[in-house]
Amino acid sequence: MSSAVLSIGSNLGDRLAHLRSVIDGFGPRVVAVSPVYSTAPWGGVEQSDYLNAVVLVDDPELGCRDWLHGGQRLERAADRVREVRWGARTLDIDVIQCAEADGTVCSSADPELTLPHPQAHKRAFVLIPWLDVEPDAMLEVDGTALRVRELLDGLDVAERAGVRPTEFSLISARPAEG
């Protein structure tokens, strides 16, 4: 029934292992995985840098809320604690956008699952890896579909520069994080 764009991040514990747990957890539903980036924390809370990536998933049996619940299950398995808004976390999985099999982008104002993600268009750590796996990606902002490339180009240079490539990969054997 749906496909989704997931933004994943970690800045506590074995960050790379936490991100890899998402790939393992969604298994054959994973369609594409971006390179891993290192980014400064977003939201003003003092903490360590994040590792971030974007994962495209697809399953004709799942709906948009299923992607949210699957992500929450993986966050719990990684001992995610929600004490401080925008605080450090072992694993963070955000559903950025979800689409039905016919390509219709889902829209939701539900506080549990707001779609498209209301802040994604402001976050280079979402847009840059997304473009790696879907160069022609579109994101609806205030009811208008916009090219992700144009949204990224509209961000502050410092915001874009803060998203730095790493040598890590979530889909092949690469050096362990050290």
Which of 52-56, 78-82, 103-107: highest mean pLDDT? Answer: 52-56
Which residues does residue 78 pair with via DSSP β-bridges, in sequence order?
none
pLDDT at 63 over 60: yes
Instruction: Give the CATH number of the domain where residue 145 resides.
Output: 3.30.70.560
Report CA torsion sign: 60, 61, 65, 71.
negative
Looking at the chain, the whole-number percentage of residues with pLDDT higher than 90 is: 70
pTM as predicted: 0.91
Residue 178 domain-assigned?
no
Residue 54 domain-assigned?
yes
Residue 151 domain-assigned?
yes
Q: Which residue has the tokens 């506080």?
A: 111
Domain ranges, residue 138: 2-165
Q: How many domains does the chain have?
A: 1
Residue 172 domain-assigned?
no
Q: What is the pLDDT of residues 110-156, one digit of tens each?
A: 788 888 999 999 999 999 999 999 999 999 999 899 999 999 999 99
Residue 170 domain-assigned?
no
CA 112 to chain centre: 17
Residue 152 domain-assigned?
yes
Residue 177 domain-assigned?
no
Let me know: does 18 contact 74? Beta carbons within 8 Å.
no
The three-point CA angle 121-103-134 to 5° equals: 50
Burial 7-42 (b: 16+ CB within 10 A, else e): bbbbbbeebbebbbbbbebbeebbeebbbbbbbbbb
Q: Using CA atoms, how far apart are residues 70 and 77, in angstroms rounded to an integer?
A: 11
